[in-house]
Amino acid sequence: MENASGKSVEQTESGLEGFGQFDSEQAALIPGLPDHIALFCLARVPRKYHPFLNCVSKRWRELVCSDEWHLYRRNNCLAETWIYALCIDKSDQLCCYVLDSNQLQRGWKRIQDLPSRCLKRKGVGFEVLGKKLYLCGGCGWIEEATDEVYCYDASMNTWNTASPLSIARCYFTYEALDGKIYAIGGLGSKSSNPQSCDTYDPLTDSWSSSIDPNIPPDIEDSVVLDGKIYVRCGFSAVSSHVYAVVYDPSNGTWQHVDADMACGWRGPAVVINGVLYVLDQTSGIRLMKWQEDIREWVAVTRLSPLLMRPPCRLVAIGKKVFVMGKGLGTVVFDVENAANMDGVLVSSSVPRLISDDDEISWDYIFPFPTMEDHGLHSSSSKPLSDARSFGHMDICRILEALGGIDPVGLDSQAPYYEIDHTEVNMADRILIGEGAYGEVYLVRWRGTEVAAKTIRSSIASNQTVKENFLKELALWQKLRHPNIVQFLGVLKHPDRLIFITEYLRNGSLYDILKRKGRLDTLTAVAYALDIARGMNYLHQHKPRAIIHRDLTPRNVLQDEAGRLKVTDFGLSKIAQEKDAHGYRMTGGTGSFRYMAPEVFRRESYGKSVDVFSFALIVHEMFQGGPSNKGEDPEKLADKRAYEDSRPSVSSHVYPEPIKFLFFDGMFAMED
Ligand SMILES: Nc1ncnc2c1ncn2[C@@H]1O[C@H](COP(=O)(O)OP(=O)(O)OP(=O)(O)O)[C@@H](O)[C@H]1O
């Protein structure tokens, strides 16, 4: 595979020849098109849609995950670079964030957990080669430096172990150059000599080591310039000066860097168009440039401390400089424009993370799928999942034959759409209300007001209840209808079960009826139609109808435009579980009032139970209050279940068709 990738650099420089190997014998990538034309088109699909491509067929997945695809996109300037940042979070554990440099508005996203063995490490190396991210060495408070290396394959979204470093080291510097990783200097374990350089060759998955007395142990930073690795060292290494050494891989020599260059190199560095830029944070934050012709450091611009919180680090992509401060607050500017600007730099920026993590290291790679992509795009939109959910069995068969996958199917291992809990600031939550399952809060997510529904730990701690609940949410997340409250995701929280839906600021139909009493006919009919459309959508769901089971005015919410939307159909599953465990359903909040007889009798039931509840809600809208208002809801449900009692219908309150609707609903025995 790696050999093939080396070869395909040359093959694909000029065009699509590198994909010739895909042509033979297999079914066409796109039926009716030669593969090289299909590839020409597919490679131009933006990065954010690759997870969708991944799911169309096995062959498309193999293509998107291949080195050839990666190289082709890079060689044709189609690649979209993502920046990876290694941070230490509040609990003192390593974590990794990623930023899509073309979509800054999406902000930093946390990627899949790092290998558990290295979570507590410090001084690790973090470097990129191709589409792989390497996490090397490091040490812990009680753990000596290690030689372990882990490799993250961004196209597969997996971590694996790679060949260990030649010697254990931590707090070293690392650079990628000519397709190899160099791990330089740092501190070692008691038995190892870190005054050496380890070189990793991905073609052989092996490290080779060379010792040189010029390699300093106290390394601050490094950068690749003119095909050489420049390493900046701390103050204390030799006398009281900052000094730097340079490694030339062409002859394997280490030399000291001239003092004029070394003394002005006072911070993280990047190279843009062969010019060295340094972020000097010793007084304010200034971007300096090394002007080789006059051999001087020249100030390019300065950054407002209001924009950034030092310590800052730098990454360059093309002519763009990304400056990351504390909590990954990020400022981006074009270095050419910055040079023409006087004074404080104004630029685009990415807000810092709420968790205020301290970043310690980062790098960037050319993009391949990451956890964020899978999390954001995959679950609700997999072609096979969609085809199944809409009952297009013939399309399912085609997709299955081509190796399509269904991550949201009922038997799926990844049934719900996760939202990183750091994206929602629960500290600023506003309590909207409380139901049988927990509190509902108004919170902000990605700049939008959303409702966060918390599930009491007494309910969510039951594993069966939780699993059923997540299964229901997996179903809900696929639904889209103007009269259905939009489910947005489950908050990935270590010890809470919280899910996010759209926020409907006008409250529930229960609130409306309480406020207004009896509704005029036009409004009541409009509301009834809204509910009916939403319910019809649920009942028409394929391959199985979704039955609400707990349709009440409290579970019908109104948006700002006055449209009603049905919610909480997933929760009826929990109610079942609660019943099974001896809990009451939602009696306290009045569900008994709208409960169909067969549900009360705990018989098997179908869509008609929702029709029953719907009829009672319609009745209530015309009547101006719940039927049999004074009666105890549970006794009422009992009477309806065992004595066939039904609310009375006064002829003057209802228009004739509504009266029929009401009777049909109340006495509907079959679906
Ligand atoms: N998406 C939402 N947008 C705005 N308000 C909401 C949203 N979801 C729920 N609420 C409000 O929060 C309160 C509690 O809702 P919740 O669904 O937890 O309980 P309920 O429906 O009142 O009762 P039950 O738990 O018995 O169904 C209600 O007043 C409801 O109007």
Rounded to an integer, what distance in angstroms lies between the CA atom of residue 210 and that of residue 212?
7
Stated length of the chain: 671
**How many Å apart are CA 627 and CA 648, to the nearest integer?**
8
CATH of 82-411, one of 2.60.40.60, 1.10.630.10, 3.40.390.10, 2.120.10.80: 2.120.10.80
Name the nearest CA neighbour of 59 among 356, 509, 399. Answer: 399
Rounded to an integer, what distance in angstroms lies between the CA atom of residue 572 and that of residue 578?
A: 10
DSSP string, 504-553: -TT-BHHHHHHHH-SPPHHHHHHHHHHHHHHHHHHHT-SSS----S---G
Contacts of 630 (CB under 8 A, 6+ apart): none
Q: Nearest residue CA, atom 15 of ligand 1?
A: 435
| pTM of the predicted model as reported, rounded to 2 decimal places | 0.50
Which residues contribute to the annotated binding site for ATP?
453
CA of 600 to the centre of ligand 1 (A): 22
Identity of the residue numbered 113: D
Task: Look at residue 591 and give its three-state secondary structure.
Answer: helix
| Best probe residue, ligand 1, of 429, 430, 431, 432 (max atoms within 8 Å of C-beta) | 432
Q: Whose CA is nearest to atom 27 of ligand 1?
A: 435
In sign, the C-alpha dihedral spanning 524, 528, 534, 535 is positive
Distance between CA atoms of residues 501 and 607, nearest Å: 24
- Whether 82-411 shares its CATH topology with 509-666 is answered no
Which ligand 1 atom is the nearest neighbour of the CA of 453? 18
How many Å lie between the centroid of ligand 1 and the Cα of residue 470?
Answer: 19
Quote the CA–CA distance of 325 and 352 in Å, as a whole number: 8
For ligand 1, is residue 508 a contact (CB within 6 Å)? yes
Angle at 111 between CA 110 and CA 113, to 5 degrees: 110
pLDDT at 569: 80
CATH topology (fold) of 509-666: Transferase(Phosphotransferase); domain 1 (1.10.510)
- Give the sheet arrangement for strand 82-88, strand by strand: 109-110, 94-100, 82-88, 358-365
Across the strands, what pairs with 270? 277
d(C-alpha 87, C-alpha 83), whole Å:
13
The ligand 1 atom nearest the CA atom of 557:
31
**CA of 260 relative to ligand 1 center, distance in Å:** 67
CB of residue 246 inside a 6 A radius of ligand 1: no
Residue 259: the pLDDT is 85
| CB contact at 8 A, 501 and 557 | no
Helix ranges, 76-143 (H): none
What DSSP character marks residue 376? I
Rounded to whole angstroms, the Cα distance separating 555 from 440 reads 13
DSSP 41-54: HHTTS-GGGHHHHH
Judge if the beta carbon of residue 389 lies within 6 A of ligand 1: no
Q: Which ligand 1 atom is the nearest neighbour of the CA of 507?
A: 31
Torsion, Cα of 408, 106, 224, 7 (10° steps): 40
What is the model's pLDDT at position 585? 41
- Which parts of 361-434 fold into alpha helices (H)? 371-373, 379-381, 383-389, 393-401
From atom 12 of ligand 1, which residue's Cα is the shortest distance away?
433
- Write the residue with the smallest CA distance to atom 29 of ligand 1: 433
Query: 451: Cβ below 6 Å to ligand 1?
Result: yes
Domain topology for 421-502: Phosphorylase Kinase; domain 1 (3.30.200)
pLDDT recorded at residue 11: 32
Per-residue model confidence (pLDDT) at position 356 = 46
Which residues are known to be catalytic? 550
Strand 418-420 to 487-492 pairing: parallel
The per-residue pLDDT for 633 is 85
The residue to mutate among 443, 497, 554, having the most atoms of ligand 1 within 8 angstroms of its beta carbon, is 554
Q: Is the CB–ligand 1 distance for residue 485 below 6 Å?
A: yes
CA distance 28 to 20: 12
Domains in the chain: boundaries: 9-75, 82-411, 421-502, 509-666
**What is the 433 CA–ligand 1 centroid distance (Å)?**
6
Q: Which atom of ligand 1 is nearest to the CA of 589?
A: 26
Q: Does residue 435 have its Cβ closer than 6 Å to ligand 1?
A: yes
Task: Compute, in angstroms, the gap from residue 434 CA to the centroid of ligand 1.
Answer: 7
- At which residue do the structure tokens 């230490």 appear? 88
Burial (0-12, 13-18, 19+ Cβ within 10 Å), 27: exposed
Residues forming beta bridges with residue 107, ordered by sequence position: none
Task: Select from 430, 431, 434, 440 the residue to mutate for testing ligand 1; criterion: most ligand atoms less than 8 Å from CB.
Answer: 440
Q: Ligand 1 centre and the CA of 439: distance in Å?
A: 8
pLDDT of residue 159: 83
Ligand 1 centroid from CA 516, angstroms: 19
Indicate whether residue 164 lines ligand 1 (CB < 6 A): no
Beta strand extents in 351-508 (DSSP E only)? 358-365, 418-420, 430-434, 439-445, 448-455, 487-492, 497-502
| 324 HSE (CA, 13 A, CB side) | 31
**Which atom of ligand 1 is nearest to 502's Cα?**
1
Hey, whose CA ends up nearest to atom 24 of ligand 1? 435
Going by alpha carbons, the residue nearest to atom 19 of ligand 1 is 435
Residue 454 Cβ < 6 Å to ligand 1: no
- Interval between CA 441 and ligand 1 midpoint (Å): 9
Q: What is the mean pLDDT of each run of 10 residues along the chain (671 residues)?
A: 28 41 66 86 83 82 82 79 80 81 76 81 85 86 87 78 91 88 83 80 91 80 92 63 83 88 88 92 86 91 72 83 80 74 49 50 40 30 62 75 56 55 83 87 86 84 77 81 90 80 94 92 93 93 84 94 88 51 40 86 84 92 82 86 80 74 70 48
Residue 538: phi, psi to the nearest 5? -65, -45
